[in-house]
Structure 1
Amino acid sequence: MPKQTYIPYLLQLFRQYGYDGATLSKISEATGLGKASLYHHFPGGKDEMVETVLDYLEQWLGENILPALRSDGDAETRLRRMCDRLSELYQQGEQPCLFAILLLGSARDVFHTKVERLFRTWIDAIASVLIADGMDEEQAKHRGEDVAIAIQGSLILSQGLHNPSPFQRVIQQLPRSICHNSQ
């Protein structure tokens, strides 16, 4: 099977255990591949596995978030579409963000550049929506960062409380509050 087949298992595993906690034994168990087969599919080991998952998330961003933000409609409608896609990705707040997990452990230096690029792409796309809605560029950039802060913070809080309600509340209120405050 192609290595893309294993992405959902790897994504879940790295979300659950982080880079350091996702041992080859756990990866082997989750994917059903023996250690030799893991290295056949991922000669670069865990680093290549994480890169493959990050590539998938980058593709997902390009196929789901960016089109939602570039679609027709006013800013609130486009931000709502983005939030709907994010809610799907994070299973309505039940799943943590892999980016945050990767930035906390020993993998931080290895994957920081790619994670930073993904965050910047997302924030810039949000800012573009707000600029098109009449907001000045600097404020729009700050608001894009505020969106990322609110979503990431709500994911962390939801995980910490074992309750997805904070994430769900943010996802529900964010499009309107960002646009309302832009006036």
Structure 2
Amino acid sequence: MSKAQYIPSLLGLFRQHGYDGATLSRISEATGLGKASLYHHFPGGKSEMVATVLDYLEQETEIHILQVLRGQGEAPARLQKMCDGISRLYEQGDQPCLQAILLMGSARDVFHAKVEMLLRSWIDAIATLLMAEGLSKDIALQRAENAVLAIQGSLILSQGLNSPAVFQRVVNQLPQQLYQGLDEG
């Protein structure tokens, strides 16, 4: 069996317990693998497991968010598709953001560069779309950063309130907010 089949279990585990809280026994329970099998599939240990999950999330982000933003079609429709992809990625707000979780504790130093790259590519793709629609670089970048901030903040608030409604409201309103004023020209 390939290590790719363990990604969903590992993603759920790291989302729930973070890097420091994902003990070997929890990893073994989540994957159904014993210690020897875990190290056979992931010789680099827990760090390799998280790196594998981040690579998976990078691929999902590329396919369902970045390619949509860079693709063809009207900008409002592409922004809506981005939000639909984000909603699926975070299970309509029921799941926290792994990247945010990895910026806390001992994982920060190990995974910060990868998380920063993922966030920057997302911000850049939104800003590029908005600049193509006529916004200045500074305003487009601000809106893109605010969009990612709204999504990430709504995920935290939804988790804290134990209700995905905040996240759902943000992703439903976001395409219109990003495109505000652009349809008047």
Deviation at 1:136, TM superposition (A): 0.6
Give the AA of the match of 1:157.
L
- Identity among equivalent positions (%) equals 65
- Equivalent residues in 2 for 1:37-56, closer than 5 Å: 37-56=37-56
- Equivalent residues in 2 for 1:81-160, closer than 5 Å: 81-160=81-160
Give the AA of the match of 1:158.
S
Scaled by the length of structure 1, what TM-score is found? 0.97
Deviation at 1:112, TM superposition (A): 0.0
Deviation at 1:72, TM superposition (A): 2.4
Work out the CA distance in 2 between the residues paired with 1:137 and 1:73.
21
Work out the CA distance in 2 between the residues paired with 1:5 and 1:159.
27
Which residue of 1 is the match for residue 76 of structure 2?
76
Q: In structure 2, list runs of 5 or more residues that go unmatched.
A: none
Scaled by the length of structure 2, what TM-score is found? 0.96
Q: In structure 1, list runs of 5 or more residues that go unmatched.
A: none
The 1:25/1:181 distance shift into structure 2, 3 A limit, reads farther
Runs (4+) of structure 1 moved beyond 6 Å?
none
Which residue of 1 is the match for residue 8 of structure 2?
8
Deviation at 1:75, TM superposition (A): 2.1
RMSD of Structure 2 on Structure 1 (CA): 1.0
**Would you say the 8 A contact 1:74–1:133 is kept in 2?**
no
Give the AA of the match of 2:146.
D
Q: What SS does the aligned partner of 1:6 have?
A: helix
CA offset digits 1:112-149 (Å, max 9, x no partner):
00000010001000001100110011111111110110
Work out the CA distance in 2 between the residues paired with 1:149 and 1:181.
20
Work out the CA distance in 2 between the residues paired with 1:151 and 1:170.
7
Give the AA of the match of 2:78.
R
- Equivalent residues in 2 for 1:16-27, closer than 5 Å: 16-27=16-27
Deviation at 1:73, TM superposition (A): 2.5
Work out the CA distance in 2 between the residues paired with 1:139 and 1:89.
27
Give the AA of the match of 2:14.
F
Deviation at 1:181, TM superposition (A): 4.8
**Would you say the 8 A contact 1:130–1:140 is kept in 2?**
yes
Give the AA of the match of 1:18.
G
Give the AA of the match of 1:167.
F
The 1:130/1:44 distance shift into structure 2, 3 A limit, reads same
How many pairs are equivalent?
Answer: 183
